[in-house]
Amino acid sequence: MTIYNKMKREARTGKKKFAVLIDPDKNTLTGIKKLARLANTSHVDYFFMGGSLLMQDHLDEFIRCLRENSNIPVLLFPGNNLQLNEKAHGILLLSLISGRNPEMLIGRHVISAPFLKESKLEILPTGYMLIDGGNTTAVTYMSNTNPIPAGKNEIAVCTAMAGEMLGLKLIYMDAGSGAQKPVSISMIDCVKTHIRIPLIIGGGITSPEMALDALQAGADVIVVGNAIEKDPDLIPQIAKAIQ
């Protein structure tokens, strides 16, 4: 079964999922091995791998290391089309539907298409929505787009519905890495009730309680990056809380 079909089936049955986001620039090989070990013994469903901007070229060796040390699927979460790698299991092919930058909506995808077509990566077409998290995050700046204002649930709902109608298979609402405030419970709830495809929520989730709140509001998958970089022992704590 494909990664997506399993995600969709489990979303329908209410089985919640936990993704650990790894920014290659903020890790070492030793750190990656530790994350793999913690994730294997906890309940982690995916590794997402990528960053808004990579200063160092560690992507390939870190994916290889994860695959050698864990069976958890590795999904590319690319900040740009330089972050493609065939060693991963799949890719969140992100179209930044909250923004109006054609490069992020379709331009980068055109450039990546020949590589992706030849690769064995599972492609997960994803409607990516930036939500204002109270501070300017790297992704807002790098994508040259405005996030959806935090209180504007109706804009988020209509954007997600449009993404689903266009045939995207996932909606990912992201307050951005290190957001001061995560996507609100009410926005998650509103969006969830208007779409049938799985909903991923990330950005600014720093505790098991916040993870649980997002999942109870309707997220099917929660993503935690920054907080785990600071304290990898959050992995078992979050995994336990959401089981």
Q: Is 178 in the site for ligand 1GP (CB under 6 A)?
A: yes
Q: Is 99 in the site for ligand 1GP (CB under 6 A)?
A: no
- Comparison of 5 and 25: residue with beta carbon closer to ligand 1GP: 25
Using CB under 6 A, which of the segments 66-74, 101-109, 175-183, 207-215 binds ligand 1GP? 175-183
**Using CA atoms, how far apart are residues 145 and 141, in angstroms rounded to an integer?**
7
**Using CA atoms, how far apart are residues 96 and 230, in angstroms rounded to an integer?**
28
Q: Is 174 in the site for ligand 1GP (CB under 6 A)?
A: yes
- Comparison of 9 and 96: residue with beta carbon closer to ligand 1GP: 96
Using CB under 6 A, which of the segments 35-43, 91-99, 149-157, 201-209 binds ligand 1GP? 201-209
Given candidates 78, 99, 147, 203, which one binds ligand 1GP under the rule CB under 6 A?
Answer: 203
DSSP for residue 104: I
Given candidates 32, 66, 160, 205, which one binds ligand 1GP under the rule CB under 6 A?
Answer: 205
- Comparison of 148 and 223: residue with beta carbon closer to ligand 1GP: 223
Give per-residue burial for 38-58: e unless 16+ CB within 10 Å, then b: bbeebbbbbbbbbbbebeeeb
Minimal distance, residue 189 CB to ligand 1GP, in Å: 18
Given candidates 35, 188, 197, 223, which one binds ligand 1GP under the rule CB under 6 A?
Answer: 223
Binders of ligand 1GP in range 17-76 (CB under 6 A): 21
Minimal distance, residue 182 CB to ligand 1GP, in Å: 8
- # of chain residues touching ligand 1GP (CB under 6 A): 15
SS3 track for 15-74: CCEEEEEECHHHCCHHHHHHHHHHHHHCCCCEEEECCCCCCCCCHHHHHHHHHHHCCCCE
**Using CA atoms, how far apart are residues 178 and 138, in angstroms rounded to an integer?**
9
For residues 190 and 219, is the Cβ–Cβ distance under 8 A? no
Query: Which residues are paired to 22 by β-bridges?
Result: 49
Q: Shortest Cβ contact with ligand 1GP: which residue?
A: 202
Distance of alpha carbon 38 from the chain centroid: 19
By the criterion CB under 6 A, which residues form the site for ligand 1GP? 21, 174, 176-179, 202-205, 223-227
